[in-house]
């Protein structure tokens, strides 16, 4: 306890986080940096496939990502829910409709994340599981670009609720009421199995689960119900 209050005197933390977790990871990291001003921090924001490669190459101490594949030599601890929702422009004909069937979405154009994104993988698995085909004509590698495209009426998208705070408050996008959504994923803190964490990484691994729930506030009125685990 004393050490935590005094702060670490040095050390280095190389944290790699999923694109989608970038929105809250910077906030958590800022709080960590205030507590441990002596620690050198490097934050990399990349997609799921790239995170797995970083861990594999020992180029990150810790990663924040969706559930890693079974069988990988990784240690993963879940610390927070990650609800995925369908968004549309407020002018979209489906906005405001109740209990939209999943099959209805197969008729719509989606703005998708790039191959290798965990969010995209979850959506693809949901569609495939229902024998539906996703129209993949538009791909973008950042949630920002996707939200702006949706607001501009380019199509629908599935994004984490953690990325939507500002857009919902500003009324730029609407969450659609679709069967099977929110699609529940979870955030995991991941490291290589058998790897000893340095003091800075160990301190962060203890800090994150303590503060995550309180620091990562979901937008009001859209509390997830969690129907499906992916």
Residues that bind ligand PGA (CB under 6 A): 18-20, 47-48, 65-66, 113, 117-119, 185
Other C-beta atoms lying within 10 Å of the C-beta of residue 148: 16
Rounded CA separation 86/98 (Å): 13
> Measured from the CB of residue 190, what is the shortest distance to ligand PGA in angstroms?
10
Question: What is the nearest approach in angstroms of ligand PGA to the Cβ of residue 136?
Answer: 15
Least distance (Å) from ligand PGA to the CB of residue 121?
7
Smallest separation, CB 178 to ligand PGA (Å): 18
3-class secondary-structure state, position 60: coil
Residues in the chain: 230
Strand, helix or coil at 132? coil
Q: Which residue is nearest to ligand PGA (CB)?
A: 118
- Cα-based distances in Å from 108 to 9, 88, 145, 154, 165: 54, 11, 19, 10, 24
Cβ-based nearer residue to ligand PGA, 113 or 147: 113
Torsion sign over Cα 40, 43, 48, 54: negative
* Complex with ligand PGA: residue 114 or 210, whichever CB lies closer: 114
């Amino acid at each position: 306890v004393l050490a935590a209050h005094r702060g670490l005197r040095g050390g280095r933390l190389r944290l790699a986080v999923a694109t989608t977790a970038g929105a809250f990871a910077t906030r958590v990291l800022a709080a960590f940096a205030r507590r441990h001003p002596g620690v050198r921090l490097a934050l990399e924001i990349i997609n799921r496939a790239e995170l797995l490669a970083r861990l594999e190459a020992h180029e990150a101490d810790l990663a924040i990502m969706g559930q890693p594949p079974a069988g990988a030599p990784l240690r993963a601890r879940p610390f927070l829910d990650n609800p995925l929702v369908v968004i549309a422009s407020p002018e979209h004909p489906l906005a405001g409709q109740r209990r939209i069937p999943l099959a209805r979405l197969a008729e719509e154009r989606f703005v998708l994340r790039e191959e290798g994104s965990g969010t995209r993988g979850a959506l693809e698995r949901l569609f495939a599981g229902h024998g539906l085909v996703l129209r993949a004509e538009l791909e973008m590698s950042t949630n920002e670009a996707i939200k702006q495209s949706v607001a501009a009426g380019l199509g629908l998208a599935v994004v984490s609720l953690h990325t939507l705070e500002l857009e919902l408050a500003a009324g730029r996008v609407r969450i659609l009421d679709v069967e099977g959504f929110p699609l529940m994923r979870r955030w995991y803190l991941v490291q290589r199995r058998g790897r000893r964490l340095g003091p800075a990484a160990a301190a962060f691994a203890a800090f994150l689960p303590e503060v995550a729930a309180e620091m990562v506030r979901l937008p009001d009125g859209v509390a997830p119900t969690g129907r499906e685990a992916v």
